[in-house]
Chains A and B, each alone.
Chain A
Amino acid sequence: MPIKSAFTTTIDHVSILDVNANFDEKLGAGLIPDGDLVRLYEHMCVCRHLDEVAFKLQRSGRMGTFPQNMGQEAASMGAAYALDKTDWLVPCYRENAGLFWRGLPMEMILLHWMGDERGNAIPRELYCMPLAIPIGTQLLHATGLAWAAKYRGEKRLACTFFGDGATSEGDFHEAMNFAANLDIPVIFFCQNNFWAISVPGKIQCSAPTIAQRAVAYGMDTIQCDGNDIFSVVYCVRKAAALAREKGRPFFIEAVTYRLGDHTTADDARRYRDQAEVDAWKTRDPILRIRKFLTTRGLWDDAKEAALAERAQRDVAAAVERAESIPPPDRNDFFNNMYATIPPDLALQRDTMQTHGIGQDPSQIEGAVIELPAKTSH
């Protein structure tokens, strides 16, 4: 018997607004109304400014480790724009732009990276999950969130974000397999930024695209230019339509680039060429929208100057709000451990500043040593 082909496939790549602001009218016309595009552009610039300010806050000791989002703003923001406001956004930690677009106050993200759990107290109506710090774990939560929507007969879907590195974790593969085989309407949105800290993408995936991994799970997939917001919106709408109409998952590989270090604790100069970074700077998602808006007469230098001022003002106000929140009580970490605090834990909380922990205070009466108050950390 001759050997026959059992299966063949192709992976489509979508690019609508390229680096030179050439625009594919056929795919892009009507995709984003002019007014929305201006707002998206303005929002993206504010997010970029926040990124720069956060970096300086870390360097001056006002914030802990911070992962810059620089260069990847179009990806998460395009997705958040294309989805319904009640679809779940399930991020890792380079989706600030999308979360802010959804309505998450900027100071909450700042507060999180300032070492304060209250930054995660996300209002339920925003349908945003808190940042996921371990890699790839949130994909399964997104699958569960979307499963719950299906269970209840809602049209809500979940969109989860992760990097190329996450596609190496077991949880990635388990989530993809669950979603595909149990018909769960979840969008897997991979921000392929080529670097998992210092490890290049080729160590994570030897195939020409990450998108084709989805094919093996029987899942529809597409690759797009993640620095082109039009491409992102196009692909997420396509994915959302499939999810809502057919209840099927969808995989998007958004090709983008981490222009900054992994976090402020990293120094990417140790492991990647500046020439590569410089080349990607010309593909910055912000530059091409500005060029596009300018050629269409929707933007000019005066508006740009006004926007720069507004970005400074908005970000400064967010920093002010984050820094003006009084520090948590010293025993705040006992709260929210359980719906009802167990008695032993309550004793630890109530005696933490006066007694050995959990000790029955009466047992050591007369030996109570008051701790000096801590003034700052």
Chain B
Amino acid sequence: MANLTLVQAINLALIQEMERDERVLILGEDVGLNGGVFRVTEGLHKRFGDKRVVDTPLAESGIIGTSIGLAMAGLRPIPEIQFEGFLGPAYDQICSHAARMRTRTRGAMTVPLTIRIPVGGGIHAPELHSDSPETVYIHQPGIKVIMPSSPYDAKGLLISAIRDPDPVMFFEPKRIYRAFREEVPEDEYTLPLGKARVVCEGNEMTIVSWGSSVVQCMQAIERGGRSIELIDLRTLYPFDMDAVEASVKKTGRCVIVHEAPKTCGFGAEIAARIMERCFLYLESPVQRVTGFDTIMPYYKLELDYMPDADRIARAIEETAAY
């Protein structure tokens, strides 16, 4: 076991998969000598060389489009998009091609690629470096979407993503890249995609969250006084509705927390599924604590935009009091 940050856990997963499978290669902007702007690919260029750790021209559509070709030819590309705000030019390749190749060729051709993307706010970054666009890609059929909230999960989920036969978007919450360390096995291991993690058990209320918001939820829960079950979805598509259902049927109350805007945020889907599956068990309306339906503000106000322990604690009390 090693005590690792999220960045280090991802770095270790990349090294181990590249050692294990020579079809795996990394490409993107500044991923080589520089080790990525967050140092996630630190040391990989030195270890695996120019052929497998490739600094590309500055073109996100090019990075994803060529990755699709690499993947269809049987390789396992891991492209990096430097910040979620720069996914725009890559959107066409992701949604018009990567997502559809399996179905439009009736399974004759597939796109096994894993796109890594730092995501979210809370690090005082400039404009377009702090957004939470995961819902856009959850809504796109044909893509799997992952967002880990801890170093241990990040390593196991990333290895599963790389070995997955379909396109996966692996969102890395940059706010917790180095926020804490966790014991992470040095040996390789996988975690199943589509399985949530029960972070802590309780019977009074369920909180569903993912990414760095999980940390905010923990802070709210640790203020004490209530028995709360926290579910970290980890994989956003396919998502573990069974885990949510089991918990909500037990607690009868649910708060969903995410950083992305409220309207059509993934919390809306979870809430609708709870209505479908748990309606007669509910003691109160499902509550959402989310980013607002605004553009993510520049960093002077980003903490007012993002769900924090205060807002989550208030939602807990409101939901309990209903």
Contacts and interface: CB of A to CB of B under 8 A. Distances in A.
A355 B289 CA distance: 10
A295 to B, nearest CB: 41
Interface stretch (B124-132, B153-161, B175-183, B233-241): B124-132
Nearest to A199: B55
A377 interface: yes
A171 to B, nearest CB: 7
Interface string A327-363: 1101111100100000011001100100111110001
B300 A116 contact: yes
Given A196-B58, A332-B297, A345-B294, A169 B89 contact: yes
B40 interface: no
A352 B292 contact: yes
B156 to A, nearest CB: 29
Interface in B260-318: 262-263, 285, 287-290, 292-295, 297-305, 310-311, 313-315, 317-318
A344 B314 contact: no
B58 A271 contact: no
A337 B126 contact: no
Interface residues of A, number: 56
Contacts of B310: 371-372
Nearest to A66: B126
Contacts, number: 155
Interface in B44-100: 55-62, 85-86, 88-89
B286 to A, nearest CB: 11
A168 B88 CA distance: 15
Q: Is the interface of A mostly helix, strand, loop or mixed?
A: loop
Nearest to A348: B292
A305 interface: no
14 contacts: A115-B124, A115-B126, A115-B302, A133-B129, A327-B300, A333-B305, A334-B294, A337-B293, A337-B295, A355-B314, A359-B318, A367-B318, A369-B318, A377-B301
Query: Can you list the 10 inter-chain pairs with the closest CB atoms, starting with the nearest?
Result: A198-B34, A115-B299, A367-B321, A168-B57, A333-B297, A165-B58, A369-B314, A115-B300, A115-B298, A271-B33
Interface of A: 64-65, 112-117, 133-136, 165-166, 168-171, 196-199, 203-204, 265-266, 270-271, 327-328, 330-334, 337, 344-345, 348-349, 352, 355-359, 363-364, 366-369, 371-372, 374, 377
